[in-house]
Amino acid sequence: MENSSSYSDQESDSLEAGNGSGFKVHVFSSSSELLERLHEKWSSVKKQPYPAMYSSTFGGIILDPAMMVIPIDDHMVHRGHGVFDTAIILNGYLYELDAHLDRFLRSASNARISSPFPRSALQSILVQLSAASQCKKGTLRYWLSAGPGDFLLSPAGCPTSAFYAVVIDDDFSQCKEGVKVVTSTVPMKAPQFATMKNVNYLPNVLSKMEAEEKGAFASIWVDEEGYIAEGPNVNVAFINHDKELVLPLFDKILSGCTAKRLLELASKLVEQGHLKDVRNTNLTVEEAKGAAEMMFVGSTLPVLPIISWDEQPIGDGKVGELTMALSDLLWDDMVAGPEVQRIPVPDV
């Protein structure tokens, strides 16, 4: 049998040479040959980044990376008809899974996707998946799709919705270095779509790419009324000169689980006299750029200091003390917070 490792090399050489007319596509003669090719691809990976996946179309947990696939006729693939959410795995615990699952099911309802399982079963699947992965630190991502069926616009031909989940091995740590941001020129999503966590992330991708091309970490969206919205996949927060923690209202943007938890935990700094107040409100660009401190807030960060916006320093251009105090609060909550926030992953 022809060596499968040569297929991609031959195809690449042919394309690079511009020999499109002579380009020959290999036809896999059997599923075993295809699996051999896929296993060969993954055998060169030093560390498997995705230790486990769940698929309702397969009906179980998959440990073989070569089989971590979804059907191409899944409505989420060719029409973007799907929603997703995430949770953190840290020290063998799932952090804020309940809050994320609640938002997940709200997003699914808004996208008119029914779950193939009740909420309790979804949670059980995710806990069992995390256990099977044996991952102690990483992220858990999961999707609800209208399901596979056909390639039409309507999901009427999809017999049942589908649930997918994957564990991603990720050695994240507390962010202590400041980053730069720019104002996005990519139009933000309409509130109906921005407030649900759906898979249509092309505006987010383009916004992130725009920032990177300008030497920044990410971008900031400003809505049509001139108020601060959010980052491409994170919320944004500010400390004003009155020492108030201020986050934009969630009426036109995604209601961040981590951002909402930050608002709860920040009350401790108010009690200690370090912060004067904590609130959600509309912020103009002028107010935001004039803040004393600025930060991104998201699951794996959990807080990322921002020191420059459109080449202008935020505050004194250094990582703020209150930003790091808030980061410490969230990190401590992730590591040793109350049981209601942390679900233990059982040993296999």
Instruction: Return the active site residues.
Output: 197
**How, if at all, do strands 179-183 and 303-309 pair?**
parallel
Token reading at 113: 């996707």
How far separated are the first and last CA of the chain, in Å rounded?
A: 40
**How, if at all, do strands 52-55 and 60-62 pair?**
antiparallel
Phi and psi dihedrals of 112, rounded to 5? 60, 45
Three-state SS at 15 = helix
Contacts 24+ apart (CB under 8 A), 147-151: 147/57, 147/74, 147/75, 148/57, 148/70, 148/71, 148/73, 148/74, 148/75, 149/73, 149/75, 150/73, 151/73, 151/78
Rounded CA-CA distance 147/161 in Å is: 4
